[in-house]
Chain A
Amino acid sequence: MLPTATLAALCVFVCFGGNWLWGQTMIERPLVVGLIAGLMFGDVRTGILMGAALEAIFMGAVDIGGALSAEPVTATVLATTFAITLDVNTKAALALAVPIGVFAAFISMFLKNVVMNVFAPAVDRVAANNDPRALTWLHFGMWFLNYFVFSLVTFFSVLAGAKPVQHLVTAIPQNLMAGLSATGGLLPAVGFAILMRMLWSRQLSPYYFLGFVLSAYMALPSVAVAAMGIIIVCLQWLLDKQLLTLSQSRTQAPAQPTAVADQAKEEEAFFE
Chain B
Amino acid sequence: MKLTQNVSKADRKMLNRIFWRSFTVFASRAGATKAHAPGFMYSVMPALDRYYKGDPTGHREAMQRHTTWYNITQNVGTFVMGLVAAMEKKNAETKDFDPEAIVALKTSLMGPLSGIGDSIFWGVLRVIAAGIGISLASQGSVLGPILFLIIYNVPSILTRYYLTYAGFTLGDTFIQRMYENGSMKLLSKAAATLGLMMIGSMTATMVTFKSKLAIPIQGGKPIAIQTYLDQLWKGLVPLAVTLGCYWLLSKKVNVNWILLGVLLLAIVMGLVGIV
Determine the main DSSP class of A at the interface with B. Answer: helix
Interface size class, chain A:
35 or more
For the complex, give the distance between the alpha carbons of A140 and B56 in Å.
24
Q: Is the CB of A192 within 8 A of B203?
A: yes
Q: Is the CB of B183 within 8 A of A241?
A: yes
B122: CB under 8 A from chain A?
A: yes
A55, A126, A197, A232 — most chain B CB neighbours (10 Å) = A55
Q: Is the CB of B242 within 8 A of A31?
A: no
Q: Is the CB of A185 within 8 A of B28?
A: no
B63: CB under 8 A from chain A?
A: yes
What 7 pairs across the A-B complex have the smallest Cβ distances? A179-B270, A211-B200, A117-B31, A187-B32, A142-B28, A193-B245, A215-B204
Residue of A nearest to B180 (CB): A264
- In the complex, what's the smallest C-beta–C-beta distance from A121 to chain B, in angstroms? 6
Q: Is the CB of A187 within 8 A of B31?
A: yes
Collect the chain A residues with CB atoms within 8 Å of residue B225's CB. Answer: none
- Residues of A near any B CB (own CB < 8 A): 20-27, 29, 31-32, 34-35, 44-45, 48-49, 51-53, 55-56, 59, 62, 64-67, 112-124, 126-130, 132, 135-136, 138-143, 146, 175-201, 204-205, 207-217, 220-223, 225-230, 232-233, 236-237, 240-241, 244, 256, 260, 264, 267, 270
Q: Is the CB of B190 within 8 A of A236?
A: yes
Collect the chain A residues with CB atoms within 8 Å of residue B74's CB. Answer: 23-24
Q: Is the CB of B35 within 8 A of A191?
A: yes
Q: Is the CB of A120 within 8 A of B34?
A: yes
Q: Is the CB of A135 within 8 A of B201?
A: no
Q: B232-273 vs A: 1/0 string, CB under 8 Å?
A: 001100110111111011100001101100110111111111
One of A48, A186, A230 near B238 (C-beta < 8 A): A186
Interface residue ranges of B35-89 to A (CB < 8 Å): 35, 37-39, 41-42, 45, 48-49, 56, 59-60, 63-69, 71, 74-75
For the complex, give the distance between the alpha carbons of A227 and B206 in Å.
19
Binds A, one of B107-115, B163-171, B215-223: B107-115
Residue of B nearest to A129 (CB): B60
Residue of B nearest to A230 (CB): B194
For the complex, give the distance between the alpha carbons of A106 and B134 in Å.
26
For the complex, give the distance between the alpha carbons of A228 and B71 in Å.
21
Q: Given contacts A175-B273, A195-B107, A260-B182, is CB(A189)–CB(B31) below 8 Å?
A: no
A136, A140, A182 — most chain B CB neighbours (10 Å) = A182
Q: Is the CB of B242 within 8 A of A180?
A: no
Q: Is the CB of A120 within 8 A of B255?
A: yes
- In the complex, what's the smallest C-beta–C-beta distance from A13 to chain B, in angstroms? 13
Q: Is the CB of A64 within 8 A of B122?
A: yes
For the complex, give the distance between the alpha carbons of A167 and B234 in Å.
38
Residue of B nearest to A125 (CB): B67
Q: Is the CB of B30 within 8 A of A117?
A: yes
CB<8 Å pairs between A and B, sample of 18: A26-B149, A114-B31, A115-B31, A126-B63, A130-B59, A142-B29, A175-B270, A185-B208, A188-B206, A192-B242, A193-B248, A195-B68, A195-B103, A196-B246, A211-B202, A212-B235, A212-B239, A222-B205
Q: Is the CB of A179 within 8 A of B266?
A: yes
Collect the chain B residues with CB atoms within 8 Å of residue A64's CB. Answer: 114, 118, 122
Determine the main DSSP class of B at the interface with A. Answer: helix
Q: Is the CB of A207 within 8 A of B75?
A: no
Collect the chain B residues with CB atoms within 8 Å of residue A267's CB. Answer: 93
Residue of B nearest to A197 (CB): B249
For the complex, give the distance between the alpha carbons of A141 and B35 in Å.
15
For the complex, give the distance between the alpha carbons of A59 and B145 in Å.
14
For the complex, give the distance between the alpha carbons of A40 and B82 in Å.
40
Q: Is the CB of B138 within 8 A of A190?
A: no
For the complex, give the distance between the alpha carbons of A120 and B142 in Å.
42
For the complex, give the distance between the alpha carbons of A210 and B204 in Å.
11
Q: Given contacts A139-B42, A216-B234, is CB(A65)–CB(B271) below 8 Å?
A: no
Collect the chain B residues with CB atoms within 8 Å of residue A27's CB. Answer: 149
Q: Given contacts A32-B148, A180-B270, is CB(A192)–CB(B69) below 8 Å?
A: yes
One of A22, A59, A121, A123 near B38 (C-beta < 8 A): A123
- In the complex, what's the smallest C-beta–C-beta distance from B17 to chain A, in angstroms? 13
For the complex, give the distance between the alpha carbons of A204 and B262 in Å.
27
Residue of A nearest to B23 (CB): A23
- In the complex, what's the smallest C-beta–C-beta distance from B106 to chain A, in angstroms? 10
